[in-house]
A and B are shown apart, each in its own frame.
Chain A
């Protein structure tokens, strides 16, 4: 018989269209904001984690602080001097190190110029370490060798069949053998990498370090030092040792560090606690708006009971029990909640994916992504149904308790 009750509830809701829509708006807003913000938040987390994917759990990176996620020169920082590398290599717990330079350069391809970041790959023994650590694979051509001079490898965003902004800028994909110019110096493309879903790696332009230093000059400093620890369990200890050394070398006190030693894990932890904070904030806002939405449902249902007092009387006269009347109203309010939730989910999805799309257009990075999980959708739908029924209990009880004689007499 439940099917018929749902039918009746649907008939009742659709015969009061305007009011039903207005009631459900309260639910839309709450559910849509939950879906949109949580979806964007978890998408952001996935995107950020993928940025660290290439760093194994046994890797620490040392950077002069202020440049952690930006190009060098974006803050007033003291660069890391080359001598540090030798000293870091000797720190207890360190297995090996390599360093990298990151420079901005005018990159020209297909007669189109653009300002891009170019980065170095270490040579000799450390090249393999770098390539394994970043898990590079070529899609086309080959990786660089020590004997290469004016050759480069480009990231997956430049390859065929990829819809990326790099492709939009240069109007066609880059293939092995193509000629490009870096600061007006001619280079040949030796390889194109597989796409990894990491905007820094996929957009990379990689040169051998000697030729990079030739072009941009070696001032005895480096932009990033990657440190592989000997034992993963000694990560924290090694990190401390490194910090101690760097404080001494750079002559700063604890708390005034102008450098940063970071492990993927502590970046993730920081990220997670930030996201957790955002999620709590979202949950509170959404909770308030859903509470308001629920009260809206309750108000509508009370009005409905008043309006339909006569109808309740008729139904009771023709044999409806109190429990029947209760169920009818109860389902109706649950229906309001669930349909409101359903539409809220749709709006939320549009907001999340649309927001991420606009974000990518405006900021030009792939970092902003939406990731709405099925469990989030199902969870919010169940929640909105429960919300509707919860706030429908009291009006439904009121309807059920109406006296048939009195309610038949009402207008």
Chain B
């Protein structure tokens, strides 16, 4: 297969200044992610995996080097352009679920589409469809506080899919869930990857979880240490 990478990080550095001390979170990271990949980025805390995730998600720009998303260099863009890009192309799933507590499950799923000026009727129909897909058709009008952790994370998955993004980014997506609900959530992600062909990038420190993906990239000290591909029977 001759695919172009959907995400490409080329010699990316990210440096934080803490007083006089410069902390290099990333030191020349190179990473290619192809369409349809299910990639796990693994590493101990402080390895730079969260920083990498922020850059891939267009939440931040590198201090040095380039980040390409679908061929476009986003490393020099302004915040409002970045917002536009991530709103269209990236779907986030966070460890803390990060739903808006004052809004219902349905409204939470509709919100990203609102920022893309999708008309109300279409937003509602799509949000309802997505919530049914994650088996929450009965709980659409519940507020996040009225849902269990697993249910909240499923709302978050539905939300991440609402604008039909190219890439879904999960930041320890099962980190706040017990192992059983964690497996359900992982199953959803795998299903998305397999059946819908979505590109999924997941950041985790968990070995077992990482092995659920197709590919694993191991980071340490802001650099890629190993890359591996998991063969399934």
Q: Which residues does A use to contact B, with CB under 8 Å? A: 1, 4, 8, 11-12, 15, 310-311, 314-324, 403-405, 408
Contact = CB atoms under 8 A, between A and B. Distances in A.
Interface stretch (B85-93, B185-193, B224-232): B85-93
Interface in B69-120: 79-80, 83-84, 86-88, 92, 94, 98-103, 111-112, 114-117, 120
B60 interface: yes
Contact of B87 (A310, A311, A318): A318
Contacts of A408: 59, 94, 98
A319 B103 contact: no
A314 B102 contact: no
A404 B112 CA distance: 15
A321 B81 CA distance: 8
A403 B57 CA distance: 14
Contacts of B84: 319, 321
Contact of A322 (B59, B79, B111, B112): B79
Contacts of A12: 102
A138 to B, nearest CB: 66
10 contacts: A317-B98, A318-B92, A318-B159, A319-B84, A319-B88, A319-B115, A319-B116, A320-B115, A321-B115, A403-B79
Contact of A11 (B59, B99, B103): B103
B114 A1 contact: yes
A4 B114 contact: yes
A138 B51 CA distance: 92
Most buried by B among A1, A15, A314, A320: A314
Given A1-B117, A314-B100, A321 B59 contact: no
A318 B112 contact: yes
A382 B203 CA distance: 50
Contact of B80 (A4, A8, A15, A323): A323
8 pairs of A and B residues whose beta carbons are closest in the complex: A319-B87, A319-B115, A318-B112, A321-B83, A15-B102, A314-B98, A404-B59, A321-B80
B50 to A, nearest CB: 9
A405 B59 contact: yes
B54 interface: yes
Given A11-B102, A321-B84, A408-B98, 12 more contacts: A1-B117, A11-B103, A12-B102, A311-B100, A317-B92, A318-B115, A319-B83, A319-B88, A319-B163, A404-B79, A405-B59, A408-B94
Looking at B54, B83, B84, B92, the one whose CB has the most chain A CB atoms below 10 A away is B83
Contacts of A311: 100-101
Contact of B120 (A4, A318, A404, A405): A4
B161 to A, nearest CB: 11
Nearest to B53: A405
A11 B84 CA distance: 25
Contact of A405 (B54, B100, B116): B54
Contact of B86 (A319, A322, A323): A319
A362 B133 CA distance: 71
Nearest to B51: A405
B115 A324 contact: yes
A405 B103 CA distance: 22
Contacts of B83: 316, 319-322, 404
- Residue from the set A4, A311, A317, A404 with the largest chain B CB neighbour count within 10 Å: A317
B165 to A, nearest CB: 10
Contacts of B163: 319
A8 B101 CA distance: 12
A140 to B, nearest CB: 65
Contacts of B111: 315, 318
Contacts of B54: 405
A171 to B, nearest CB: 61
Contacts of A8: 103
A314 B94 CA distance: 10
Contacts of B159: 318
A311 B108 CA distance: 12
A405 to B, nearest CB: 5
B120 to A, nearest CB: 7
A310 B84 CA distance: 19
Given A317-B92, A318-B111, A405 B98 contact: no
